Amino acid sequence: MKLRLGPSSVSVRMALAVALAVLASMAASPRGRCDAAAAGTVVRSIFVNQNGGADFKTVQRAVDSVPFGNEHWIRVHVAAGVYNEKVVIPLNKSFILLEGEGRQQTSIEWADHADQDTTTAATPTFAAYSTDFMARDITFKNTYNGGGGGGGEMTPAVAALVSGDRSSFHRCGFVGVQDTLSDMDGRHYYEGCYIEGATDFIFGSGQSIFQGCEIWTAPAPASSSPGFITAQGRQSEADTSGFVFEGCTVRGVTPAYLGRAWRGYARVIFYRTDMSGVVVGPGWDAWSYKGKEDTLTMVESGCTGQGSNRTGRVPWTKELSGAELAKFVDLSYISADGWLDAQPR
């Protein structure tokens, strides 16, 4: 039986069950990490301003100055402006806090894209491969395909790739059209972020929570078909990855599915998210796994808005109990060891 949303006794009991289970999981989860940067104290700040008067004029030069094997939090503060460059945080440069002056004031932009000679993984405007990374108040934008409504042939063009464990983003922007946010391996947290795109614009195999984020469906060049918000890549029953959207909004201008299965055990959960009419009736697509939908975990619970009407949904969406749902909507799903609390404030 499907959960009926709204002020019914069923939904009240579900909410109560989730709340009690979350409290139990919080009490059981170990807190804190014992490593060189556990206190979350920034020991050094590097300043970037493309107009001069700072340590560096480009973001990449600032990142390059961080020592290999770094074990202490270093802040890279980027002044307001548009920085036209590709930026890479390499695997062996952990504990970097990248900070702008507001996602509408500071942005890193580039226009790379996939073609017969370039893979999707080579296209990001910004890529973070290191563990223990943090960003706040900055936008990552891939301007190919218009990067927010322009013309051009649609092709993979990543704005940001995140592939390191223990990475968080606060009040950041991710803007593109296809494959905007490549949320790959590791545990990640996105808080109060803005994510814009048209096709598979949040994709990957990350174990991630998106809390209070604004999801915006952008125009898709040369396409009249609905888009896809997510394409999650969980690969087995034992794989702990999944995308959890909690307290988010889904808005935009292009009709879109909530997601399609990139891999055979894809897992996506929308919890207490407000959905506008841009969400198409079926909601989900099995993509290459039609006939194998029983291994997919596509969940909607406690959602509101016109797009949350599940009357026309595909029949294979999953229903989770309160206890099952609590395992994913609580921060312990990504931070049972307390790494998120240990990052700088």
With a pLDDT cut of 70, the percent of the chain lying above it is 86
- Nearest CA-CA partner of 41 in 89, 74, 77: 74
pLDDT of residue 240: 98
Cα maximum dimension of the chain? 63
Cα 290 versus chain centre, distance: 26
Cα 42 versus chain centre, distance: 25
pLDDT of residue 154: 81
pLDDT of residue 69: 95
Asked whether 141 and 173 are in contact (CB, 8 A), the reply is yes
pLDDT of residue 221: 77
Residue 96 CA: distances (Å) to CA of 2, 49, 55, 258: 44, 18, 16, 32
pLDDT of residue 152: 58
| 3-state SS class at 168 | strand
Active site (catalytic) residues? 200
Name the stretches of the chain with pLDDT < 70: 1-39, 146-153
- Nearest CA-CA partner of 289 in 234, 220, 225, 227: 234
Residue 270 CA: distances (Å) to CA of 12, 56, 136: 17, 41, 23
pLDDT of residue 38: 54
Q: Judge if pTM exceeds 0.85.
A: yes
Give phi and psi for 334, each to the nearest 5: -110, -15
pLDDT of residue 97: 98
pLDDT of residue 34: 40
pLDDT of residue 146: 54
